[in-house]
Amino acid sequence: MAQKSFRQALNEALNHEMRRDPNVIVLGEDVAGGSGASGQKDAWGGAFGVTKGLLGAYGPARVRDTPISESAFVGAAAGAAMTGLRPVVEIMFVDFLGVCFDQIFNQAAKFRYMFGGKAVTPLVIRATYGAGTRSASQHSQALYPIFTHVPGLKVVIPSSPYDAKGLLIQAIRDNDPVIFLENKVLYDTVGEVPDGAYTVPFGEAHIVREGGDATIVAIGRMVHFAREAAETLAAEGIDCTVLDPRTTSPLDEDTIIEMTEETGRVVIVDEANPRCGMAADISSIIAENAFGALKAPIMKVTAPHTPVPYAPNLEAAYIPDAKRIADAVRKAVAFQRS
């Protein structure tokens, strides 16, 4: 199977769906190269190169540059989705979605429910998230818990090139609004990706690794650190299951509970801030449904409750890493009830 980057996998997904369905359009800042400006069109393929080549293949009517006005073009995309198109909106950084919460939270997420199930909103909003690129606090947050909180939205956080392609195709074919979040550190990550189109269903977690001593639930980029920690721990005789939920809404609660019952020890790794985050949410689900199976307290490894720092040493300390994950697992394994 061909080796492709996370970025290439996303580009292939967009190409497959735009070729298959003429109603799929792409909107965003610089996705076509900066309309109205001089110079070469599609020089970069958007801020991160994901839309490279789409303008030449599908033309300016389907690959549309927008003004720097996220609230306007997200609202326009929601309206277009209600009237037959399947827009894929690119927002450079998830941090910018704060200016269009009304369009997302109060409108797109609720259309299906406001109109008795007769309205569909096949809208995908792609955005980058996460720290690690020295982009400072307004370009580095992991805001997926906010979107996960809102009923009517689906929230996707791929960790591998394979999942990125399959989940994006699934998102474009879905009839509900989808928030599709890409950790910018992963764009050059390489993995096996089929050439043809395929889908990865929402709400089905991926068991990355199996082991009987502890379960590590990790989201997005954290899956890579969790796997690294699991390999370190295996050398010490501690075997861990690593579980990647892949989507936080819907969340595969059944598999999380099943893995908890098999190992009895759980560490949840979340790049988001700890208060009202995914780690806290998953902890509550486990406590409510599998408390009797726990051999140790649930451990959470998250960023601290601070904005993302700009100083390189502080940013590095902010992001959960394999060492912190391994330490949490060791603490869980060593726990003894008094």
Catalytic positions, please? Answer: 139
Measure the N-to-C terminal CA separation of the chain; round to a whole number of Å.
Answer: 52
Amino acid, single-letter form, for residue 4: K
Note the Cα 206 to chain centre separation in Å.
14
Element (H, E) at 54: helix 54-58
Residues 114, 147: contact at Cβ < 8 Å? no
In sequence order, what DSSP letters do the residues of 18-50 get, joined into one string?
Answer: HHH-TTEEEEETTSSS-TTSSS-TTSSSSTTST
Q: Tokens for 224?
A: 């890579």
CA dist list (Å): 119 to 111, 150, 152, 255, 291: 6, 18, 12, 32, 40
Q: How far is the C-alpha of 144 from the C-alpha of 142, rounded, in Å?
A: 6
Q: Which residue has the tokens 């409510």?
A: 288
Q: How far is the C-alpha of 88 from the C-alpha of 8, rounded, in Å?
A: 17
Residues 177, 78: contact at Cβ < 8 Å? yes
Q: How far is the C-alpha of 217 from the C-alpha of 205, rounded, in Å?
A: 10
Q: How far is the C-alpha of 59 from the C-alpha of 178, rounded, in Å?
A: 24
Q: How far is the C-alpha of 41 from the C-alpha of 44, rounded, in Å?
A: 8
